[in-house]
């Protein structure tokens, strides 16, 4: 049964508890097997389980749902395909992978991070035309911080992670290629917006 996003207020907490559309999830049996092998190669940990230490925000570089996060069998010559934990578009949240399972959403941090993709073409689109998406993301992040006992200091941009610098993000690691790479998502203004919402 299709589950649409419903934001139900939590009395006494002061924020909304997100509900997720589960209709576009990855099949977990094959995913767990593949992400275990991926984790062994890249992180030296043969495990599919995720104990989140941080949250990484991205934009999709497109204006519609990113089906590649659901359908691709591989990426850059290895399995599994790309997948974040969540995709946010306006008031809608899809869960692609449960947050207790490792995703393949940000090179160098998949063994520690919950990855959230926000639908938007670029940083300008995110901040000028997607305010509702940023509001929804902030509520999702707030809920995840509470669930996994993290703080706003544990929320990073993909750009920060891509520096592969443990002074910027202490969890970054890759045994295959630990060099910095180029990412600009989701943009400094989008990060400020979400972090400001979390501070309220």
Q: pLDDT by residue (tens digit) across 86-106?
A: 999 999 999 999 999 999 999
pLDDT, position 16: 58
pLDDT, position 8: 35
pLDDT, position 103: 98
Pairing label, strands 54-59, 155-157: parallel
pLDDT, position 18: 85
Residue scoring higher pLDDT (78 or 9): 78
Is it the case that residue 25 has pLDDT exceeding 60? yes
Residues in the chain: 200
Distance CA 178, CA 107 (A): 9
Is it the case that residue 5 has pLDDT exceeding 70? no
Residue 108: closest CA among 41, 51, 47, 48? 41
Is it the case that residue 1 has pLDDT exceeding 80? no
Q: Where are the domains of the chain?
A: 15-199
Is it the case that residue 59 has pLDDT exceeding 90? yes
Instruction: Find the Cα–Cα–Cα–Cα dihedral 158, 164, 169, 170, rounded to 10°.
Output: 150
* pLDDT band at residue 70 under the 50/70/90 scheme: very high
CATH architecture of 15-199: 3-Layer(aba) Sandwich (3.40)
pLDDT, position 130: 86
Distance CA 7, CA 20 (A): 10
pLDDT, position 60: 98
Distance CA 143, CA 14 (A): 11
Q: Please give the mean pLDDT across all residues of the chain.
A: 92
3-state secondary structure of 126: helix
For residue 153, what is the DSSP state?
G
């Amino acid at each position: 049964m299709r589950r649409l996003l419903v934001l139900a207020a939590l009395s006494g907490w002061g924020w909304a508890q997100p509900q997720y559309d589960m209709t576009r999830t990855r099949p977990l049996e094959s995913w767990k097997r593949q992400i275990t092998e991926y984790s062994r190669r890249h992180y030296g940990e043969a495990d599919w389980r995720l104990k989140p230490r941080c949250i990484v925000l991205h934009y999709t570089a497109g204006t519609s749902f990113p089906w590649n996060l659901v359908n691709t069998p591989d990426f850059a010559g290895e399995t599994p395909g790309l997948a974040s934990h969540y995709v946010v578009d306006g008031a809608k949240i899809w869960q692609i992978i449960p947050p207790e399972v490792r995703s393949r959403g940000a090179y160098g941090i998949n063994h520690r991070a919950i990855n959230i993709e926000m639908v938007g073409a670029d940083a300008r689109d995110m901040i000028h035309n997607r305010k509702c998406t940023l509001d929804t993301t902030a509520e999702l992040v707030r809920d995840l911080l509470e669930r996994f006992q993290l703080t706003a200091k544990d929320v990073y941009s993909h750009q920060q992670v891509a520096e592969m610098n443990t002074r910027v993000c202490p969890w970054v690691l890759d045994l295959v290629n630990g060099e910095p790479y180029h990412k600009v998502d989701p943009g400094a203004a989008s990060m400020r917006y979400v972090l400001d919402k979390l501070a309220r």
